[in-house]
């Protein structure tokens, strides 16, 4: 979930749209973005399965579809696309620069807590068997929110330190991790749809020498 939210991905846009803000305004924007990310992920964990049920979608189908979506995002990140794929359009980027508050849209949604992050939260929750596990996931979402806040508060320094090359390296590493996560999601969904694929093959019988 941390790899797909990737708080560093929001740094370039955050720096550009908060350039004219005071330090206090940037603090509030970073705080609002972090809260948005936490709330979206938490809502997906608590109510994701219920919402899918309203549309007659089971977690197995969603696991495969979500895996494909995450894989496409991972491929874009491996190609060092700064937006990680179609997370935010050019029109949304222009509109963001004209908004008085950009913390919720488009920084929080859909740049950081976008379709990929929501899909991941729902799929991981579907693998949970106890409420304790879900509580742990909510706690992890809080940690991701805090890391998002820390990254955005240090956005100017990180942007100067890493530069374009450094940001591309980070995106490629995150993309590599996400590709493995995506394959895992798809494999898990396929195995649950077709249980026979999850059966372990019989151990080969040894050849008895005469």
Cα 137 from Cα 133, distance rounded (Å): 6
* Residue 208 forms part of a structural domain: no
Q: Which domain holds residue 28?
A: 2-191
* Residue 100 forms part of a structural domain: yes
* Residue 196 forms part of a structural domain: no
Tokens of 5: 């939210």
* Residue 200 forms part of a structural domain: no
The whole model's pTM is what?
A: 0.74
CA distances from 57 to 42, 53, 61, 134, 154 (A): 20, 6, 7, 20, 40
Q: What is the pLDDT of residue 146?
A: 96
What is the count of structural domains for the chain?
Answer: 1
* Residue 183 forms part of a structural domain: yes
pLDDT by residue (tens digit) across 105-120?
778 887 888 888 888 8
* Residue 108 forms part of a structural domain: yes
* Residue 98 forms part of a structural domain: yes
CA distances from 42 to 67, 132, 148 (A): 20, 14, 15
pLDDT by residue (tens digit) across 50-82?
888 888 877 777 788 888 888 887 888 788 665
């Amino acid at each position: 979930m941390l790899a797909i939210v990737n708080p560093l991905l929001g740094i370039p846009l955050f720096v550009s749209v908060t350039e004219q803000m005071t330090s206090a305004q940037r603090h509030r924007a970073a705080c609002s973005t972090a809260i948005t990310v936490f709330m979206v992920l938490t809502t997906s964990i608590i109510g994701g399965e219920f919402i899918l049920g309203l549309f007659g979608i089971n977690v197995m189908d969603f696991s495969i579809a979500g895996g494909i979506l995450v894989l496409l995002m991972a491929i874009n990140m491996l190609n060092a696309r700064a937006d990680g794929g179609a997370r935010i359009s050019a029109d949304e980027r222009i509109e963001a620069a004209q908004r008085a508050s950009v913390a919720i849209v488009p920084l929080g949604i859909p740049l950081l807590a976008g379709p990929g992050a929501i899909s991941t939260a729902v799929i991981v929750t579907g693998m949970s068997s106890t409420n304790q596990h879900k509580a742990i996931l909510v706690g992890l979402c809080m940690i991701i929110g805090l890391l998002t806040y820390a990254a955005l508060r240090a956005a100017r320094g990180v942007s100067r330190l890493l530069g374009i090359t450094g940001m591309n390296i980070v995106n490629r590493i995150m993309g590599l991790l996400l590709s493995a996560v995506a394959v895992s999601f798809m494999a898990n969904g396929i195995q649950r749809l077709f249980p026979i694929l999850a059966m372990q093959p019989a151990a080969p019988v040894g050849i008895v020498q005469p």
